[in-house]
Structure 1
Amino acid sequence: MLDALPEEPANWSTAVPDWEERIVQGRSLIPDLPLFDEVAAKALRIFKRLRVPDIIGTPTYGEACDEWVFSFVRAIFGSYDPVTKRRMIREFFMMVPKKNGKSSIAAAVIVTAAIMNERPEAELLLIAPTKTIAAIAFKQAKGIIRLDPDLTRTFHLQDHLKKITHRISLAEIVIKAADTDAITGGKSTFTLIDETHEFATKSKADAVFIEVRGALAARPDGFLLQITTQSKAPPAGVFKKELDRARAVRDGELVLPLLAVLYELPAKMQKSGGWKDAATWGLVNPNLNRSVDKAFLADQLTTALRDGPAELALLASQHFNVQIGLGLKSNSWVGANYWEGAALAGLDLKSLIERCEVAVVGIDGGGLDDLMGLAVIGRDRETKDWLHWAKAWAHPEVFKRKEIAPTLQDFAAAGDLITVGDDEPTRDIVEVADIVEQLLESGLLPEEGAVGLDPMGVSALVDEMASRGVEHKMMVAVGQGYRLTPAINGMERKLKNGTFRHCGSPMMAWVLGNAKTEQRGNAVLITKETAGKAKIDPLMATFDAFMMMSRNPVAAGAQAFEYTGI
């Protein structure tokens, strides 16, 4: 008699490659999983019985929530094997717009976890970027417990310690704020990270996630739950890493024990403005007409359309999970509105040199706590379009600005930004000169007016370029402030009419989002002072290069051509 074949291992893949079709059709974003039904059912019964403390009448979660919540709760707890005491899915990442009850739902999940927990003295950690945000889920958890006499007897609430203790298992629910508390030790069994997108500005956020995941390695019964909205600026830092990772798992590009539930429209619908159609609102707002009021969204859209692109971008990111490519602000530069649409796939310095008949350079530096920005603009020999490529360098002093350090580190990883070490203090000057020398050798630089520089603090760079054969008549001090108005206005027009194309650098998109305009008489100013702590040096270098190209230059060895204007 043949031995019985071994059972096929359960398929715990969390990939949802058809998520675009699912979300457009209003179907569940959670794949079919071989859940442990008894555990899932028990957890869901507990979750549904809990009462929502901040809704009039304090209904139960079973009464207040919809099926999308119940499916998520089943997946979280039903992935736990009660025999092996291991969790088949260890991480959960939910991105849902504001007002869909995410913090309330997350708090109820943590209370449910504290009830279901089998580990003595387990730690249930509520982590947020700030103490204020961390207190939201904690307050919700307290309210849930106080509304249930049985839970009030089971748990000991210690407001002054921001702690909730299970009297029997001694498991503790505690809160931690990344801006004030040290999150070390790797002891948490269950962790909720609220508003992950806010961690983008935290320079030490990576360490928080390393500690939390380190705890899971020793606690296979635990889980990490992240719940967030989309960010108000282009995703950066640890939020970008976590979001990219979640999308890769969802799309089937990465296999990890992580379930990503992302309420976002397909990229095409986001870019085309499909989110403005009220018919799509319920697709990304699963609590529409429950905690999310449709009339409120309609009023907010009407107001944002009137107030301009900055308010529209904010509304789109927070209420419809639209990922914005530029951090548009009030008094932002008009040209930023057309920047994304001007990207040209595959454009780099090499292809720019190959395609262009002439090229010029703009350079903007400053002190050690500024970026060194370089921009190259070439004129395409066939289309006569202006092609743009940029790069930047940063000394360690720049990274001391904690609010922008994670973003700069992303750009360094992408290769758009070069980090200058303390042991190589002239690296930026040498490498900028290397690029100018390469353009000189290509024959694309004009004999005069080839390199436009902000005249402040460039003596060392001028000497370095001169040593490479760049003649002084090729270097021009470009007036700043109001004198850049022709470049600011001219670039707006060329971006809008499609004759200015760029390489699609995320760094440049961020830089443009930092740019603020100031009107002085007939002049439009974009200055480092108005940008504040953010950086715009590569954009200023671009304006310098634009001023050089506006002179209609001819390459040293090239034939002149008839050019009729912008």
Structure 2
Amino acid sequence: MNEYVERAQQYMRDVLDGTIPTCKWTRLAVQRQADDLLRERSEEWPWVFDADLAARPCGFAELLPHIKGKWAREGRLLELEPWQCFIITTVFGWVHHETRLRRFLEAYEEEARKNGKSAKGSALLLYMLAADGEHGAECYTAATTRDQARIVFDDAKAMAERSPGLRTHLGVAIMQHSLTVAATSSKAAPLAAEGSTLDGLNVHFALLDELHAHKTRAVYDVIDSARGAREQSLLWTITTAGTDRSGICYERRTHVTKILDRVVQDERVFGIIYTLDDGDDHFDPAVWIKANPNLGKSVQLDELQAQASKAMAMPSALSNFLTKRLNVWVSGESPWMDMRAWEKCGARGLGIESIPDGSKVYMGLDLAQKKDFAALTLAWEEDVEVSTGTVFDPSKRADDPAFYKRQLRIERKWRVCTRLYLNELAVQESGNAHLAGWARQGYVVVTDGALTDFDCVADDMRTYCRRFDVQEIAFDPALSMYFAGKLIEEGLPLVEIAQRAMFFTPALIQVENLVLEGKLQHDGNPVLAWMVSNLVVKQSKFNELMQPTKERPENKIDGVISMLMALGRALQQDTGSAALDDFLRNPIIV
């Protein structure tokens, strides 16, 4: 094993055992690589890790000089830190076992300012131009302005000017606005921000700098679409946090967090985020390393402390300190659910067909006709066997099944199953690449045409009301009053619930607590998990009431809303019944 892979793997060990303080997303990125290294090759997993290919860009980078600051004055070469070795070796080390083409086609890297991203980006630009073995390689830097795009390019140009070997051995020619390699007909250049001017590109490598500052998605989309003719093109985004949660940067960040949380499977995208964890004190120097992996190297503690003091004294400086120096996205909305905790609450074999007939059930209904889902959630309480460990019978042989005995106890848990309905046109036009697959696997009921068939939903509701003791069906009258009216006439117990913060605040808190305490079980529907991960909470600054919402239209949350309506009503009734029972057992009469 070479030194760069060794540095990377030592970094992985230090992260996973807590030696290096890191945030949740960094640990999950490291754990993903650790898990991948243990996977056996198969048709579903055709990738192998090649340590020599992983090390090549690292060795190349450390031949290049610093071009800014005291290290440039001292004539020092770049020295990659272990965390940088981890990122580079992971992205470049995985290849297809037959074609030897790279696994990762996109890399998303998010960290605070001054962590050496420009120097590393410049080194990668030069490597992809001159040392990746690609003929006709078109390599670009892109940002919101040409001046911003030139930052990384100009650093790469200065490195090339101070590295005679690039010119003599690799044939790099240095021009005012580009770098070229005549032998392979390759070039590198900065790009203007206007996406409309970028047509005709054939991108081998593109480095998008400060993606959070892009006002539109035009540049990203044009570069992404310009990679189709390449077998192993690489789109690399390096950014800090921002404030626009509706933009392309936060969209890519959200996709990465879903990959790391194992909600979405995308083996061709690498992502790592250096930021603070929820609940960390922004002004505690002990947590700053989580967002600044180069703390003590290119990031100085005293400078951070000065910025923190300014942010404490001047509220107007707080947002800049959080986004630029701690890589914290600033917004009035925050993710609702810990997806690891949600995943642990999945129960194998749980489904509507497994609910005992006659069970007391609460239902929540959220309707939509065109692009949103219609959702129906059933919630009920049930006694569940829970394993407390395994005991061994020494009187039995080890190969005797009776040698092992599980210890069980009975716990009362809330259980939920959600039915999701969507019309076939919405499935075809969805930007979610997983949706068609989920529909084929039966996780979504697909109805014919361009409108979701409410009769299908109504038939299911009638069936469940015949099978179970349905207490209430909570629904939003703003969306389904006519539909509900007909079912009320049939005797179904529908209850109007306006989707306001006053109702949702206790439901959000109670359901989250049930998940964190392991007192809720769900059927493992991946579409519902995706919706749970999409839900963010907007909290009022005046009365602390909470409203569930989504950050963009394509982030559907309909299934979660129906679950919150069902459980919100069920828990509300359960709390009232418990209080009444307690009073009857212990009456206080004055």
Query: Which amino acid letter does the alignment assign opposite residue 108 of structure 1?
Result: A
Distance 1:57 1:42, change over 3 A: closer
- SS across alignment from 2:144: helix
Identity of aligned residues (%): 15
**Residue number among 376, 379, 382 corresponding to 2:378 in the alignment:** 376
Instruction: Kindly provide the amino acid, as one letter, of the partner of residue 21 in structure 1.
Output: R
- 1:310-357 CA distances to partner (integer Å, 9 max, x unpaired)? x99x96999589xxxxx9942669xx3789757652245438735994
Amino acid corresponding to residue 545 of structure 1 in structure 2: A
Question: Residues 245-271 of structure 1, C-alpha deviation per residue, up to 9 Å, x if partnerless?
Answer: 8999xxxx99x9x99695779xxx979
Deviation at 1:365, TM superposition (A): 2.9
Shift of 1:485: 1.9
Q: Does 1:156 align with 2:163?
A: no
Q: Which residue of 1 aligns with 2:13?
A: 21
Distance 1:56 1:141, change over 3 A: farther
Question: 1:7 aligns to what?
Answer: none
Matched residues, number? 494
Contact 1:360–1:451, Cα closer than 8 Å, also in 2? yes
Match of 1:224 in 2: 234
* Match for residue 562 of structure 2 among 537, 541, 561: 541
**Equivalent residue, structure 1, for 2:408:** none
Give the C-alpha shift of residue 363 in structure 1.
1.6
> What residue number does 1:345 align with?
345
Cross-structure match for 1:324: none
**Distance (whole Å) between structure 2 residues aligned to residue 306 and residue 411 of structure 1:** 48
Inter-partner Cα distance in structure 2 for 1:41 and 1:540 = 48
The 8 Å contact of residues 62 and 80 in structure 2, kept in 1 or not, is answered as no
Q: Which of 110, 120, 126 is the matching residue for 1:105?
A: 120
Q: Which residue of 1 aligns with 2:547?
A: 526
Equivalence map 1:59-70=2 (5 Å): 59=73, 62-63=76-77, 65-68=79-82
Deviation of 1:243 after TM superposition, in Å, equals: 7.6
Task: Flag the 1:516–1:537 CA change in 2: closer, same or farther, 3 A.
Answer: farther
Q: Decide which of 490, 512, 527 is 2:535's aligned counterpart.
A: 512
Verify the 8 A CA contact 1:455 1:477 in the aligned structure 2: yes
Would you say the 8 A contact 1:155–1:167 is kept in 2?
Answer: no
Counterpart amino acid of 1:291? S
Q: Does the 8 Å contact 1:361/1:377 carry over to 2? A: yes
Call closer, same or farther: CA 1:173–1:338 in 2, change over 3 Å: closer
- Aligned counterparts, 1:298-337, within 5 A: 319=326, 329-330=331-332, 336=336
Equivalent residue of 2:153, what SS? helix
Q: Which residues of 2 match residues 442-521 of structure 1 at below 5 A?
A: 442-446=467-471, 450-458=472-480, 461-462=483-484, 471-481=490-500, 485-489=502-506, 491-493=508-510, 495-496=512-513, 498=517, 501=520, 503=522, 505-513=528-536, 515-518=537-540
Distance 1:344 1:380, change over 3 A: farther
Map of 1:3 onto structure 2: none
1:38, 1:18 → 2: CA distance?
15
The letter for the 1-side match of 2:125 is: I
Residue number among 67, 70, 73 corresponding to 1:51 in the alignment: 67
Q: Deviations over 1:53-90 (max 9, x none)?
A: xx47855894564444885799699989xxxxx97757
| Counterpart for residue 301 of structure 2 | 294
Asked if the contact 1:394/1:417 (under 8 Å) is kept, the reply is no
Distance 1:400 1:75, change over 3 A: closer
Structure 1 gaps, min length 5: 1-9, 81-85, 218-222, 322-326, 554-559
Task: Please tell me the root mean square deviation across aligned C-alpha atoms, in Å.
Answer: 6.4
Alignment partners' CA distance in 1, 2:496 and 2:14 = 57
Q: CA deviation at 1:293?
A: 3.3
In the other structure, the counterpart of 2:451 is 425
Are the counterparts in 2 of residues 134 and 194 from structure 1 also a CA contact under 8 Å? Answer: no
SS state at 1:346 partner? coil
Q: In the aligned structure 2, how far is the partner of 1:302 from the partner of 1:434? A: 62
Q: 1:196 to 1:358 in 2, by over 3 A?
A: farther
Letter in structure 1 aligned against 2:298 = S
Asked whether the 8 Å contact 1:376–1:389 carries over to 2, the reply is: yes
Do the aligned partners of 2:108 and 2:271 also contact (CA within 8 Å) in 1? yes
Identify the match of residue 461 of structure 2 among 409, 426, 436.
436
Amino acid at match of 1:475: L
After superposition, what is the alpha-carbon deviation per residue over 1:267-298, rounded to whole angstroms, capped at 9, x for unaligned? xx979979999667658744222222335667
The SS at the match of 2:123 is helix
TM-score (norm 2): 0.59
Distance 1:176 1:418, change over 3 A: farther
Give how far 1:474 is off: 1.3
Q: Secondary structure, in 3 states, of the residue corresponding to 2:538?
A: coil
The reply on whether 1:132 has 2:144 as its aligned counterpart is yes
1:506 deviates by: 3.1
1:142 counterpart (154, 158, 161): 154
* 8 Å CA contact retained: 1:197, 1:228: no
Greater shift, 496-505 or 269-278, is seen at: 269-278
| TM superposition score normalised by structure 1 | 0.60
